[in-house]
Structure 1
Amino acid sequence: VIILDHHKTALEMFSKDDTFSQNIIKVIDMERSGATIAFDFFIEKLHERYKGSLSPDTYLVKMFPETELSRVTQLFKYIEDADLWRWALPDSKAFSSGLKDINLEYNYRLNPNLFGQ
């Protein structure tokens, strides 16, 4: 079982109770969004799976065309900015609202045009 979270309630719940089974992996990070926690976690798992034969950055290039990598990175920055209620990026509130309104499919393989919008 993998728990990836950034909420204070998760931190409180999981930090005071060590009775969880050893097959539970917990990543609680209140400084990042759930999206970036998950993205980083699974990139690292790919890296471990292939025994370090490729760097995590190489997996990113394999997952996304190199020309699209900066767009993917920017998308995660905006999602995190809204998810953590920072609103520090230009037009972050408008971006977040628009993203919710168009009800996008977030799987890049199912919706490769996601990053072209």
Structure 2
Amino acid sequence: MTEYKDVVILYHGKCPDGFGGAYAAWKKFGDRATYIPVDHGDAPPEGLAGREVYLVDFCYETAEQMGTLAKRAKRLVVLDHHESARPLVEAVPEHVYDAKRSGATIAWSYFHPETPAPRLMQYLEDGDLYRYSLPETRGIFSYLLVLPFDFFAWDKFAHELEDDAKRVEILKKSEAYTEFFKALADMSVERAKKVRFEGHEVYFASTHPNITLRSYVGNTLYKKLPPFALVVTAHPNGFGVSLRSDGSIDVSKIAEKYGGGGHPGAAGFFIPNGSEMPWTEVADEGSDA
């Protein structure tokens, strides 16, 4: 069994916002903590007994899991913003829940209450909540697509964003990244198929598991065929399913039916290998099928 340090950070893995929250914790604890990426469908790691545990941009799906974790840990703190997780988050005595902020900015204000959030945190929130109210956010997220989930790399990047001249250089470089990733996303959109799922005829597409690409594809497709779209990514142990909605339907409720969760407009769940697919393909018009 892995021997963890006294402080353990469990953060939403494979997600810029989740890693941003872990980065905020790292800026406080450094190498005094153990940092573990986790995902929905995972069981809590063993070896957390007697540890100070922080769940960042993440909450386990069941009250049983959360209760077991709370009993084992010396201290449990949950920092989250996913609306489907709200009851479980608020059941933990030490928590911060705020659907209007992202996991990264919640974590930053929790771990650094006297320090204003750096630009990186602001961009993460703007993109994760799909506001894009800051003109530079799309470029920054394109750049993040090629940046490894490494604290030292992110720390360097965060400092560069605070320098006006270096930020201009980053944004100029990100233009090429943005064009390339948009081309990849557009290919997924062009190859999308219609399926029947949860009483709706919607578009189904596959793409790279990066959250920015999934969101672009999903949002493009639900605009073509409301009220939502499915974007699926392949993994060794199954399929990740992302749901993106126009707001007229709460896709987090759909995701919860399959063991997932999220927000009303953006949610997801996981289908293990060997499971029956919960949708059926709709034959193209004019097809002999």
For Structure 1 versus Structure 2, the TM-score category normalised by the shorter chain is 0.5 to 0.7
For residues 111 and 84 of structure 1, do their structure 2 counterparts lie closer, same or farther at Cα, with a shift above 3 Å needed? closer
Say if 1:10 and 1:28, in contact at 8 Å, map to a contact too: no
2:109 is matched with 40
Deviation, 1:104, is 4.7
**2:167 is the alignment partner of 1:92:** no
> What does residue range 31-110 of structure 1 map to in structure 2 within 5 Å?
31-44=100-113, 56-57=114-115, 73-107=118-152
1:65 is matched with none
Could you list the runs of 5+ residues in structure 2 that have no partner in the other structure? 1-75, 161-165, 167-289
Distance (whole Å) between structure 1 residues aligned to residue 149 and residue 111 of structure 2: 22
2:80 is matched with 5
Distance (whole Å) between structure 2 residues aligned to residue 36 and residue 111 of structure 1: 15
Structure 1 ranges of 4+ moved more than 6 A: none
SS in 2 for 1:3: strand
Distance (whole Å) between structure 2 residues aligned to residue 81 and residue 111 of structure 1: 17
Distance (whole Å) between structure 1 residues aligned to residue 150 and residue 88 of structure 2: 31
Identity rate, percent: 31
Which amino acid is the alignment partner of residue 94 of structure 1?
G
Distance (whole Å) between structure 1 residues aligned to residue 119 and residue 81 of structure 2: 20
For residues 92 and 26 of structure 1, do their structure 2 counterparts lie closer, same or farther at Cα, with a shift above 3 Å needed? same
1:60-101 Cα offsets, whole Å, 9 max, x none, are 7xxxxxxxxxxx621111011011111111131221121122
For residues 74 and 9 of structure 1, do their structure 2 counterparts lie closer, same or farther at Cα, with a shift above 3 Å needed? same
SS in 2 for 1:101: coil
Distance (whole Å) between structure 1 residues aligned to residue 118 and residue 105 of structure 2: 10
Which amino acid is the alignment partner of residue 135 of structure 2?
P
For residues 81 and 102 of structure 1, do their structure 2 counterparts lie closer, same or farther at Cα, with a shift above 3 Å needed? same
Could you list the runs of 5+ residues in structure 1 that have no partner in the other structure? 45-55, 61-71
2:156 is matched with 113
Which structure's residues are more often helix, by fraction? 1
Which of 1 and 2 has higher RCO (CA within 8 Å, sep 6+)? 1
Distance (whole Å) between structure 1 residues aligned to residue 154 and residue 127 of structure 2: 22
SS in 2 for 1:85: coil
Say if 2:104 and 2:124, in contact at 8 Å, map to a contact too: yes
Say if 1:81 and 1:92, in contact at 8 Å, map to a contact too: yes
Say if 2:123 and 2:140, in contact at 8 Å, map to a contact too: yes
Aligned residues: 85
Distance (whole Å) between structure 2 residues aligned to residue 80 and residue 102 of structure 1: 17
Distance (whole Å) between structure 2 residues aligned to residue 13 and residue 112 of structure 1: 32
TM-score by length of 1: 0.59
TM-score by length of 2: 0.26
CA radius of gyration, larger in = 2
Distance (whole Å) between structure 2 residues aligned to residue 32 and residue 76 of structure 1: 10
